[in-house]
């Protein structure tokens, strides 16, 4: 019976640490649980930025809603049917004039603030 041997070129083994160093780390998805403390702020048009304020993960989400006139909202509240905020979940706003609005989330993505030029 013959035995088969696998031979790796030495150059491939030497390059392995470089290949591993160039691979970016995989980040877990952002989960905003509105059952705990969070912050929701107007961004533009129908978009808000939501981030968890308790715990270790404070990465923000950009959330697009069916809401209108978000700029004048005194408070923006979100609620989720499950643990993490996602499409179809609820948004409620009210203004200083007492106007209330109930709407839905239509899109969720990680939020990257614009670069500050100075």
pLDDT in tens, 21-72: 566 677 789 999 999 999 999 999 999 999 999 999 999 999 999 999 999 9
Q: What is the pTM of this model?
A: 0.75
How many C-beta atoms surround the C-beta of residue 60 within 10 A?
Answer: 21
Six-digit token string for 86 = 């996602």
Q: Which residue's entry shows tokens 């308790």?
A: 54
pLDDT at 2 over 90: no
| Residue 112 C-beta-side C-alpha neighbours within 13 Å | 2
How many C-beta atoms surround the C-beta of residue 89 within 10 A?
Answer: 19
């Amino acid at each position: 019976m013959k035995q088969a041997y696998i031979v790796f070129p030495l150059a491939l083994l030497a390059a392995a640490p470089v290949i591993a160093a160039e691979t970016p780390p995989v980040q877990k998805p952002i989960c905003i649980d509105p059952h705990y403390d969070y912050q929701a702020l107007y961004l533009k048009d129908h978009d808000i930025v939501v981030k968890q304020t308790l715990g270790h993960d404070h990465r923000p989400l950009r959330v697009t809603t069916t809401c209108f006139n978000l700029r004048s909202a005194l408070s923006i509240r979100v609620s989720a049917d499950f643990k993490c905020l996602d499409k179809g979940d609820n948004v409620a706003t009210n203004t200083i004039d007492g106007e209330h609005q109930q709407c839905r989330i239509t899109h969720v993505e990680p939020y990257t603030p614009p670069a500050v030029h100075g």
